Amino acid sequence: MKPFCRVVSLFTLVASLGQISIASAHEEGDLILRIGATSVAPDESSSLINTAATGDLAGTSVGVGDNTQLGLNLVYMLTDSLAVEVLAATPFEHDLKAAGLDQYGFSTRDLGSSKQLPPTVSALWFFGGAQSRVRPYLGIGVNYTTFFSQDLSSQARSELAAGSLDIDDSFGLAGRAGIDITLSDNWLLNASVWTIDIDTDASFESALGKVKAGVDIDPMVYMISIGYKF
């Protein structure tokens, strides 16, 4: 788990931009809807792959691929600086890879794929004042990630006799950093990141009995969006 250290360096890049002023930026009572491209980039580490027949398989691991979807982000300003934010998105779909099975006589690398939704609720603190055109922010949140539509690859099915892929849901903390640049009374540009603690256990049935691995997905989530202020 590493929610916070990575957001600080981004923040120091943008904090100095918070000085420029215009007539109307974020203030208490504003509701901001942001829509944009949202990328989930796992920074995963996994346990060894374990099978019921053999125990841990030294030198193996599980990897998780990147994915980009349309993200929706709703912010409500509780004061001129404090806000609550919800992240929603169309489902992300990630490739699941196995590494190291070749040492054991299996050529399977592509395990399959899974969809996931990572709804995240965060408290945000906006720097600068209500009149600042550029408002960087930091936040902390809670994430729930649910995995669904898990599919095993045809190779995993044929070579490993794999079936019944199961990936546990995850509940964890999220760190948050971003910047809103006001364009007009209602429109703004946004760039932001989440760093989310997503830890899960994956398993499937196989010719070697139950196959299990613990995977810390711990992604960086990047969003570039346009926002509309109501």
Min dist. Cβ of residue 197 to Ni ion (A):
4
Give 81 or 170: the residue with its C-beta nearer to Ni ion: 170
Tell me: does residue 31 bind Ni ion (CB under 5 A).
no
Tell me: does residue 218 bind Ni ion (CB under 5 A).
yes
Give 35 or 173: the residue with its C-beta nearer to Ni ion: 173
Tell me: does residue 27 bind Ni ion (CB under 5 A).
no
Give 42 or 128: the residue with its C-beta nearer to Ni ion: 42
- What is d(CA 17, CA 13) in angstroms, rounded to the nearest whole number? 8
The site map against Ni ion for 153-192 (x = CB under 5 A) is ----------------------------------------
Min dist. Cβ of residue 93 to Ni ion (A):
21
* Binding span for Ni ion by CB under 5 A among 142-150, 182-190, 203-211, 215-223: 215-223
Min dist. Cβ of residue 193 to Ni ion (A):
16
Indicate the burial class of 129 (C-beta count within 10 angstroms; 0-12, 13-18, 19 or more): middle
Structure tokens at 29: 């009572």
> What single-letter DSSP state applies at residue 27?
-
Tell me: does residue 44 bind Ni ion (CB under 5 A).
no
Site size toward Ni ion (CB under 5 A) is: 5
Radius of gyration of the chain (CA): 21
Residue with tokens 């989440």: 194
Residue 130 CA: distances (Å) to CA of 23, 51, 146: 9, 57, 37
Tell me: does residue 216 bind Ni ion (CB under 5 A).
yes
Q: State which of residues 168, 199, 205, 224 lies at the interface with Ni ion (CB under 5 A).
A: 199
CB distance 143 to 118 below 8 Å: yes
From the list 69, 24, 11, 44, the residue with the least C-alpha distance to 191 is 11
Report residue 171 CA to chain centroid gap: 12
* Binding span for Ni ion by CB under 5 A among 29-37, 45-53, 75-83, 212-220: 212-220
From the list 195, 209, 207, 186, the residue with the least C-alpha distance to 50 is 209
- What is d(CA 72, CA 153) in angstroms, rounded to the nearest whole number? 30
* Binding span for Ni ion by CB under 5 A among 1-9, 27-35, 86-94, 140-148: 1-9
By CB under 5 A, name the binding residues for Ni ion. Answer: 1, 197, 199, 216, 218
